């Protein structure tokens, strides 16, 4: 079991450029979550999918951020026109089921995004 | 809204001494929250340490314990005798029990260092 895989591990972009972050969940897991971690805001929920369908995007910034899960083996988080305040570690997690009594999430190593 | 507050770090404890990391939560929109402690060891990803889904019950793992106290809305993490290998960042988190609400709300994290 390789765990949750995130690529790239580090990404540096210039202000105004686009950044796409990839996540491969653990095989067989039905839920995928995206979180963002900064020193100021801590660990914040962004969005999640269950069985590839978007369920809750209440944490996503209204502009420039989008997430997709085109198949059960990967999800992407896209940030258009990146800004310095988007600099953060973006974490992806997967879970064999959502909510309920066994809502354990398995986290990937994260992608550190730096916007210059 | 829902939130989690934990002991502000960094915390330094001598090896073999006892430890408590405080965690209190506010779950105004969650009737029956699930409570979790996650840990990030140096160089590793975030991983589940223990979880409790029923008020009044205690969870334990790797010598750590935490009791879900609904009256005081607390979920403090304790260990009777810490080891150097316990040096890590600890996060308290709460989640919903509803199947469609899988997101976790994290505290700010507490960095723990153990003095040999």
For residue A30, the model assigns a pLDDT of 87
Cross-chain residue pair B104–A45, CB shorter than 8 Å: yes
- The mean predicted confidence, pLDDT, of chain A is 92
Q: 10 Å Cβ neighbour count for A84?
A: 9
Q: What is the pLDDT of residue A101?
A: 44
Q: Which of B101, B51, B32 is nearest to A98 (CA)?
A: B101
- Mean per-residue pLDDT for B62-84? 96
The answer to whether the peptide bond before residue B10 is cis (omega within 30 degrees of 0) is yes
pLDDT at B72: 95
Q: Furthest-apart CA pair in chain B: how many Å?
A: 45
Q: Give the separation between CA B16 and CA A56, rounded to whole angstroms.
A: 43
pLDDT in tens, A15-47: 999 999 999 999 988 889 999 999 999 999 999
Contact between A100 and B108 using a beta-carbon 8 Å cutoff: no
Look at residue A45 and give its three-state secondary structure.
Answer: strand
Which of A95, A89, A93 has the alpha carbon at shortest distance from A111?
A89
pLDDT in tens, A75-102: 999 999 999 999 999 999 998 865 544 5
Nearest to A79 by CA among A63, A92, A55, A91: A63
Q: Is A105 on the interface with B (CB under 8 A)?
A: yes
Distance (Å) from the alpha carbon of A28 to chain B's nearest alpha carbon: 17
Lowest mean pLDDT among A11-20, B5-14, B92-101: B92-101
Asked if the bond preceding B98 is cis, omega within 30° of 0, the reply is: no
Q: Tokens 């979790």 — which residue? A: B36
Please determine, for residue A8, whether its predicted confidence score (pLDDT) is greater than 90: yes
Whole-angstrom distance, CA of residue B21 vs CA of residue B103: 23
Please check whether residue A25 touches B, CB under 8 A: no
Of A3, A35, A103, the CB nearest to B34: A103
- pLDDT confidence bin for A1, thresholds 50/70/90: low
> What is the spatial distance between Cα B73 and Cα B44, in angstroms, rounded to a whole number?
30
pLDDT for position A44: 96
pLDDT at A21: 98
Q: Which residue has the higher pLDDT, B49 or B34?
A: B49
CA distance A11 to chain B (A): 18
Inform me whether the C-beta atom of residue A39 falls under 8 Å from chain B C-beta atoms. no
Q: Buried b vs exposed e over B40-66: b needs ≥16 C-beta within 10 Å?
A: beeeebbebbbbbbeeeeebeeeebbb
């Amino acid at each position: 079991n390789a765990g949750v895989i995130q690529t790239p591990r580090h990404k540096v972009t210039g202000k105004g450029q686009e950044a796409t972050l990839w996540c491969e969940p653990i095989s067989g897991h039905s839920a995928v979550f995206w979180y963002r971690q900064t020193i100021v805001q801590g660990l914040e929920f962004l969005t999640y999918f269950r069985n590839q369908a978007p369920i809750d995007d209440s944490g996503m910034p209204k502009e420039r951020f989008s997430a997709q899960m085109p198949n059960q083996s990967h999800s992407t988080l896209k940030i258009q026109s990146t800004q310095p305040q988007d600099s953060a570690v973006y974490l992806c997690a997967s879970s064999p089921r959502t909510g309920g009594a066994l809502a354990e999430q398995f986290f990937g190593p994260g992608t550190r995004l730096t916007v210059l | 809204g829902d939130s989690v507050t934990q002991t502000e770090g960094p915390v330094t404890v001598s090896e073999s001494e006892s430890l408590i990391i405080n965690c209190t939560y506010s779950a105004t929109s969650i009737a029956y929250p699930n409570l979790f402690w996650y840990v990030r060891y140096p160089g590793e990803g975030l991983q589940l340490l223990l979880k409790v889904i029923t008020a009044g019950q205690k969870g334990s793992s790797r010598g750590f314990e935490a009791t879900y106290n609904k009256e005081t809305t607390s979920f403090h993490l304790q260990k009777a005798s810490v080891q150097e290998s316990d040096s890590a960042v600890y996060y308290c988190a709460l989640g919903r029990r509803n199947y469609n609400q899988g997101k976790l709300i994290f505290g700010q994290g507490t960095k723990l260092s153990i003095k040999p």
